[in-house]
Copies of this chain bind each other. A is one copy, B any other.
Amino acid sequence: MDLAAKLADVVGAGYVLTGADASEDYSHDETLSAEPVRPAYVVRPATAAEVADLLRVATEANTPVTARGSGSGLSGAAVPRENGILVSFDRMTKVIEIDTDNHVAVVQPGVTLQELEDRTAEVGLVYPVYPGELSASLGGTAATNAGGMRAVKYGVTRHHVLGLEAVLPTGEVLRTGGKFVKASTGYDLTQLIVGSEGTLALITEATLKLQPRVAHQATVLAPFADLDTVVRAVPKVVGSGLAPLILEYIDAMTMGAITYTADLQLGIPDQVRDTSQAYLVVMLENRASDRLDADVEAVGTLLSELGAVDAYVLPGPSARKLIEAREKAFFTAKGAGADEIIDTVLPRASLPQFMAKVTEIAQANESFVVGCGHAGDGNVHLAVFQKDTEKRTATLRGLFEAGMALGGAISGEHGIGHAKKHYFLDLEDPAKIDLMRRIKQAFDPAGILNPGVLFD
C-alpha cells in the first residue's frame, strides 16, 4: 500500500490531497522571502486520534511532517517539504469550551483568534493576545509563541497557554498542564512545546487563560520631533504604573504609509506633522470610565514632560482605525515592496542605542529600513528594502548582531522557521544549539517533524 492510501485509511480518502488537488495556499505562509513549496500530501485530520495515527504512518515511512494553522506565519515554519506531508488543521476548528468560572478557553488548533474574540466577548472575557492578524489560528500562534501589541500589559501567547493536548511523532497523545496557572510537577512540557514551531509535537488542543474584558479604552497619540526622544520616553511610561494596554512607536515614514493606506485623517496640524519624525501610541483601559479619564490626563501630562510635541486623545473611530492600520503595517510594507520584515527584541531601555545602530547598518549596506514596534516590550518591527540578496543578508545579519550585542534575541514573536535559521545557527551559542538538538531528539528521534526548521 502506498503512503497516500495509508493516510487515506487514517483520515478518509476525501481528506488526503495530492498534486494539483491541493490548493496553492498550502505551499506558503506570509514570509516575504520564502519560496513556496508544494507538499507531496496534504492531510486534513479531524481528531487527535487521527493525528496520532497519521504520525505513526509518517514515522514508519520516514516522511517529513509540517503542521499548518491559517498560514499567516512570518518565518516559513508552515512551509512544507516537497516530499512531505502537510497536516492542515482546517477541520479542527471547534471551541470546545469557554469556562467562565475558571477563566479558560479550550480550543482545537484550527480555531481563529477572531472566533475566540467573538466567543469570549459574549461572556465578558477576553483572550488578550493580539498579534494583529485575526485570521491566525490558535494552534499556529501557540507554535510560534505569537505576541502583538497588548503584550506590554498581558504578555504573549506563552503566558496564556495553560495546557496542551499534543501528539508526539511516535503517536503518543500527551496532555500537559491544565485549567490552572501554576504547577510544580515535573518539567513544563507546555512551555517547551509553545514556540517550538512544529518541531517537537503537533498541538491538537489548547487550554488558554482568559481575562475579564475591561469595559473602557482610550488612545493617546503623541508626535515627537525625533525617534530618539520617543524611545527614551518608553521606560518612563511603563514605569508610571499606568499599565498601558498598548505602547507602540511608529516612525514618520511608516505612519505616513499606514494612514495613507487606511485613508485615515488623524487631525494633526500640518506644522506638527511636518516636524515630527516619530509617534508614540498609548492605549489605556479601565473598568471605570472616570478612572480612565483621569489616567488619560495623567498620560498626556507625562508625555509632554517626556518631550512630546503634543498629545491627542483620538476619538473612538479614529483610534480603532489607527490600531487596525498599525496591525496591517506588515501588509503596507509588503505592498510598498519591502524585501524582508524582522522583529528583533531587546531590553526596552536599549532601544535608543539600537535605533542608532539601525541607521548605521542601513547606510553601510545601502538598504532602506523603516518601522514601528512594540516599544514597551523592546520588540522592533523593521521593514528592510534591499533587492540585492547579498546586501540584504548583510543588513539582516548586522541588525541581529546589533540586537544580540545589546542583550536581545533575533525574534520576539515571529519565530525562526526557515527564514532566519541561518542567522540563528550562526549567531547563537553553539552549546545552546546542541542542547536544543538533543531536546528535539528526545521528542522526535526519527526527525520527521518539520526538518529544516530551526536546525539544518
Contact = CB atoms under 8 A, between A and B. Distances in A.
Given A176-B432, A192-B187, A102 B235 contact: yes
Contacts of A432: 174, 176, 186, 189
Given A185-B416, A192-B192, A346 B180 contact: yes
Nearest to A215: B241
Nearest to A294: B288
A302 to B, nearest CB: 13
Interface residues of A, number: 82
A163 to B, nearest CB: 9
Given A191-B191, A416-B186, A435-B189, A409 B180 contact: yes
A450 interface: no
Interface in A323-382: 345-349, 377-379
A94 interface: no
Contacts of A172: 431
Interface string A398-433: 000000000111111111100000001000110111
A424 B184 CA distance: 11
Contacts of A174: 429, 431-432, 435
A282 to B, nearest CB: 16
A357 to B, nearest CB: 17
B185 A409 contact: yes
Specify the main secondary structure of chain A where it touches its partner. loop
A172 B101 CA distance: 46
Contacts of A179: 347, 378, 407
A156 B182 contact: yes
A391 interface: no
B183 A192 contact: no
A36 interface: no
A241 B180 contact: no
Nearest to A417: B184
Among A180, A188, A345, max chain B CB count under 10 A is at A180
Given A158-B191, A180-B378, A184-B411, 8 more contacts: A99-B349, A155-B181, A158-B188, A182-B413, A185-B416, A186-B416, A186-B432, A188-B194
Interface of A: 75, 99-104, 144-147, 151, 155-156, 158-159, 168, 172, 174-176, 178-189, 191-192, 194-197, 200, 212, 214, 235, 238-241, 287, 291, 345-349, 377-379, 407-416, 424, 428-429, 431-433, 435-436, 438-443, 454
